[in-house]
Amino acid sequence: MFDFLIQGFGVALSPLNLGLAFLGALLGTLFGALPGIGPINGIAILMPLAYTLGLPAESALILLAGIYTGSEYGGRMSSILLNVPGDAGAVMTTLDGHPLAKKGLAGPALGLSAVSSFVGATIAILGLTLFAPLLAEVAVMFGPAEFFALMVFAFASMSVMMGKDPTKTAIGAVLGVLIGTVGIDSGTGVLRYTFGMPELYDGIDFVVMIIGLFAISEILLMLEHANRKDSDGDIPPLGRVFISLKEVLYCKGAMLRSGLIGFIIGVLPGTGASVAGAVSYTTEKRLSDKEGTFGTGDMRGLAAPEAANNAAAAGSFVPMLTLGIPGSGTTAVLLGALMLYNITPGPMMFSERPEVAGGLIASLYIGNLVLLALNLPLAGVFARVLTIPRWVLVPGIAILAFVGVYQLHSDLTAIYLMLIIGVFGYLLRKLGFSLAPVILGYVLGGLMEQNLRRALSISGGDVEILWRSGISLGLWIAAAALLVLPWLLPKLLSKLQPSGKPLEQVEDD
Amino acid sequence: MKLAADRWLGVFLIGLAAFVAVQALRLEVPFSYDPVGPKAFPLGLAILLAALSLVLVFKPGANGHWPDRALAVKLLAVLGVLLVYALLFTRLGFVATSLLAIVALARIFAASWGKALLTGVLMAMGSYFLFTHGLGISLPNGYWLEGLI
**A384 vs A27, more confident:** A27
Percent of chain A with pLDDT over 70: 92
Average pLDDT over residues B40-56: 93
* Closest residue on chain A to B84 (Cα): A416
Q: Where are the beta strands (DSSP E) in A234-316?
A: none
User: A69: pLDDT confidence band, cut at 50, 70 and 90?
Assistant: confident
A281-285, A347-351, A371-375, B106-110: segment of lowest average pLDDT: A347-351
Residue A361 falls inside a structural domain = yes
Flag whether pLDDT at A499 surpasses 60.
Answer: no
Is A494 a member of any domain?
no
CB–CB of A327/A271 below 8 Å?
yes
DSSP class of residue A163?
S
CA dist A39 and A32 (Å) reads 6
User: From the list A192, A223, A423, which residue is nearest B74 (CB)?
Assistant: A223
A416 in B contact zone (CB under 8 Å): yes
Q: To the nearest whole angstrom, how far is the Cα of A172 from the nearest Cα of chain B?
A: 9
Domain count, chain A: 1
- Residue A192's beta-bridge partner residues? A183
| Residue type present at position A229 | K
The pLDDT tens digits for A202-251 are 889 888 999 999 899 989 988 876 555 444 446 677 766 677 788 888 88
Helix (H, G, I), strand (E, B) or coil at A194: coil
| Other C-beta atoms lying within 10 Å of the C-beta of residue A399 | 23
Give B-chain residues touching A177 at CB under 8 angstroms.
45
- B52/A167 CB distance under 8 A: yes
User: Measured between CB atoms, does B113 come within 8 Å of chain A?
Assistant: no
Q: Poorest-confidence range of A77-81, A317-321, B141-145?
A: B141-145
Q: Ramachandran region of residue A307, left (φ > 0), alpha (ψ -120 to 50) or beta?
A: alpha
As a whole number, mean pLDDT of residues B96-105 equals 95
Residue A419 to residue B67, Cβ atoms within 8 A: no
- For residue A499, is it within any domain? no
| Within-domain flag for A496 | no
Question: Domain map of chain B by residue range?
Answer: 5-58, 69-148
Residue B149 sits at the chain A interface (C-beta within 8 Å): no
A344 is a domain residue: yes
Question: What integer best gives the mean pLDDT of chain A?
Answer: 84
CB-based contacts of A443: which residues, under 8 Å, 6+ apart?
Answer: A176, A180, A206, A326, A332, A333, A335, A336, A339
pLDDT given for residue A228 in this prediction = 53
Contact B102 A395 (CB under 8 A): yes
What is the identity of the amino acid at A140? V
pLDDT 10s digits, A1-35 = 677 888 888 888 899 999 998 999 998 888 888 87
User: Is residue B14 less than 8 Å (CB to CB) from chain A?
Assistant: no
- The answer to whether A188 touches A393, Cβ cutoff 8 Å, is no
How many contacts, defined by CB atoms under 8 Å, are there between A and B? 168
Specify if A506 maps to a domain: no
pLDDT confidence bin for A425, thresholds 50/70/90: very high
Distance from C-alpha of A258 to C-alpha of A262, rounded to nearest angstrom: 6
Kindly report the length of chain B.
Answer: 149
pLDDT score at A202: 85
Q: How far B149 CA sits from the closest chain A CA (Å)?
A: 23
Tell which residue, A486, A356, A396, has the closest CA to residue A49: A396
Question: Can you say whether residue A508 is alpha, beta or left, with left for phi > 0 and alpha for psi between -120 and 50 degrees?
Answer: alpha
Answer whether A69's CB lies under 8 Å from A361's CB: no
Q: How much of chain B is in helix, strand and coil states, percent to nearest 5?
A: 70, 0, 30
pLDDT-derived band at A509, boundaries 50, 70, 90: very low
Q: Which positions in chain A touch B52 (Cβ < 8 Å)?
A: 167, 170-171, 174
Q: How far apart are CA A200 and CA A239, in angstroms?
A: 54
Chain A CB contacts of B29 below 8 Å: 188, 190
Count how many Cα atoms sit within 13 Å of the Cα of residue A321 in the half-sphere of its side chain. Answer: 34
Can you give the pLDDT at residue B102? 96
Q: Do A449 and B62 touch (CB under 8 A)?
A: no
Residues in chain B within 8 Å Cβ distance of A223: 71, 74-75, 78, 108-109
Query: Residue A466 domain-assigned?
Result: yes
User: Could you tell me whether strands A183-184 and A191-192 are parallel, antiparallel, or unpaired per DSSP bridges?
Assistant: antiparallel
Contact A310, A262 (CB under 8 A): yes
Q: What pLDDT, on a 0 to 100 scale, did the predictor assign at position A241?
A: 66
pLDDT in tens, A407-423: 888 888 999 999 999 99
Rounded mean pLDDT of B105-117? 92
Contact A402 B83 (CB under 8 A): no
Domain that includes residue A93, residue range: 3-489
ipTM here:
0.92
